[in-house]
Amino acid sequence: MSTDVGLALRGYLDHLTVERGLATNTLLSYRRDLRRYAGVLHQRGIADVAAVTEQDVTDFLARLRQGDAEHPPLSASSAARAVIAVRGFHRFVVREGMATVDPAKPVRPPKRPQRLPKAIPVETVQALIEAAGTGSRTELTTRDAALLEFLYGTGARISEAVGLDVDDLDLTERTVRLLGKGGKQRMVPLGSFAIEALDRYLVQGRPLLAENGTGGPAVFLNARGGRLSRQSAWSVIDAAKEGAGVDVEVSPHTLRHSFATHLLDGGADVRVVQELLGHASVATTQLYTLVTVERLREVYASSHPRARH
């Protein structure tokens, strides 16, 4: 029993819409990619979905990357999205009994290019912290400066920072307990700048904020006395960026990237940085080593008398 490609495609799109409940934009992308795929199969004279071969799927991927008379070449990420849609389609076809073999299973989407983490110079970090510590309300300025010192000084994720409780801090032992992804805990040392900023906030700022609400054990409190939210933490950084006149993109993750990059620049072992960041795999941490290599290239190109062509 044969099944027309177009009929099978309509069944799959209905499945995505009704049973999977995909977002509208995702559905539109899938529909566009799969209609293009069906068009290519039609050009190759393939009407029966069971007649599609691995070579047909591989050729479709190549066509996506190379472009054709009607379509420009797709980037690796866009081509990967299209191939993922095709793989899902053929899995559905086999599951529904329209074919016995999945020709797309061996075809892997193209790898997306690695995006190198963006770090900012130490001087920019210092300017942000100084800007966060200016203002008329001591409870807020000490909190904001402590938050930025903490994020940069520990490499903590923003979720780890706002989820931090007072009992997680041990300023005497100069350590903090962070609760990372998957509930995994790790101990991270605290530097002197972070300790000073946290001590100042815990003594001068947090008690005033705590009077306004029930923040409980949270270290970082909002103006109403509740636990600081991720959105509010972002606002703290945005305000510091504006106050310092910094014209590059800065986010909580930028400070985490900078923490790692500056450690590696200073000679830290990549596996130590892995533990500090709470990465499950050292491969994730090694992305930062690529950043430092780029930095080395920049310094070499600008400093060595025989580096320029």
Token pair, residue 44, equals 């190759």
Give the relative orientation of helices 252-265 and 138-154 as an angle to the nearest 10 degrees: 50
CA atoms within 13 A on the CB side of 62: 6
- CA 309 to CA 301: how far, in whole Å? 10
pLDDT less than 50: residues of the chain = 309
Q: Which of these is catalytic: 157, 200, 257, 262?
A: 157
Q: Report the run of H or E that residue 189 belongs to, with start and end.
A: strand 185-189
Which residue in 30, 37, 201, 288 is the catalytic one?
Answer: 288
Is 157 an active-site residue? yes
**3-state secondary structure (DSSP) of residue 67:** coil
Q: What is residue 178's predicted lDDT score, i.e. its pLDDT?
A: 94
Out of 10, 35, 181, 184, pick the active-site residue.
Answer: 181
Q: What CA–CA distance (Å, rounded) separates 231 from 28?
A: 30
Lookup: tokens for 292: 């430092």
Give the count of beta carbons closer than 10 Å to the beta carbon of residue 160.
24
Q: How is 127-156 classified by DSSP, letter by letter? A: HHHHHHT-SS-HHHHHHHHHHHHHHHHH--
- The per-residue pLDDT for 287 is 78
Q: Give the tokens for residue 86.
A: 């095709």
Q: Mark whether 288 is an active-site residue.
A: yes
Which domains are assigned to the chain? 5-95 (1.10.150.130), 122-302 (1.10.443.10)
Q: Taking the CA of residue 307 as centre, how many other CA atoms within 13 Å lie in the half-sphere pointing to its CB?
A: 10
Gap between the Cα atoms of 90 and 53, Å rounded:
11
Per the annotation, the verdict on 181 as an active-site residue is yes
Q: Nearest to residue 64, comparing CAs of 48, 43, 83, 39?
A: 83
Catalytically annotated residue among 32, 253, 271, 297:
253
- pLDDT confidence of residue 127: 96
What's the confidence (pLDDT) of residue 23? Answer: 72
pLDDT score at 40: 93
